[in-house]
Amino acid sequence: MNTQDINKRIRLIMDLRAKGITDTAVLSAMERVPRDYFVPDAVRDQAWEDMALPIGRGQTISQPLVVASMTQALKLSDRDKVLEIGTGCGYQTAVLSKLCRRVYTIERHKFLLRHAEERYRALKTHNVTAIAGDGMKGWPTMHGVDQAPFDKIIVTAAARDKPPQALLDQLHIGGMMIIPVGESGNQMLKLYTKESDEAYAVRDLMAVRFVPLLPNIASNSEDGHEAA
């Protein structure tokens, strides 16, 4: 990394701190994960700016402030098992991987998932398991093994009016889920804390703008010619 990129990285971390990100572990993770590695070449010069950027398939890499705010709100520990819905380019996953025991992540676009997995391998990120699937249904039972319940869940696409019940069901009692909720143009980032099998505490965190949470694996027409 050249001096200019190092300075951009430092400037972004200082900016996040000034905007209210106080968790030093989160700031350290954001500094160590190379955001420029997760964006297309065409926008790489903007990778260390505090802005969302396009990553293809109509998806975006979230603004660093939103990534940091969501991560900080989950109060992660190195014992936590985390479910992420919406792998995207893999950047949020990589940040989570620095802060928790293991990340299980689901992406509906196979094209994006393949590239995210290539980045994990190149960065030697070994505590991430990624699959193509319907994130609205939660993590599936695989080979007779249930990974649920999870300590924390993070959703990087917006539910229309409430979180999918399957995700709430896969959360530990005492666990937390962060998810944007609402129609386009009127979305609120919400933090759910599961108090019992039937009761949740809900806190509004900030207005956000995310792509909608959609069911099923993306079709070939959605995913382009490179879909598997």
Kindly tell me the burial class for residue 106, based on how many C-beta atoms sit within 10 Å of its own C-beta (0-12, 13-18, 19 or more): buried
- Asked whether the CA dihedral 148, 149, 150, 156 is positive or negative, the reply is positive
Q: How far apart are CA 47 and CA 9, in angstroms?
A: 9
The closest of 128, 156, 135 to 55, measured between CA atoms, is 156
Tokens of 69: 């705010």
The closest of 60, 214, 227 to 134, measured between CA atoms, is 214
Determine which one of 62, 184, 196, 219 is catalytic: 62
Kindly tell me the burial class for residue 59, based on how many C-beta atoms sit within 10 Å of its own C-beta (0-12, 13-18, 19 or more): buried
Residue 62: active-site member: yes
Q: How far apart are CA 44 and CA 53, in angstroms?
A: 9
Buried b (16+ CB within 10 A) or exposed e, 127-149: ebebbbbbbbebbeeeeeeebbb
Buried b (16+ CB within 10 A) or exposed e, 1-29: eeeeeeebbeebbeebeeeebebeebbeb
- Known catalytic residues? 62
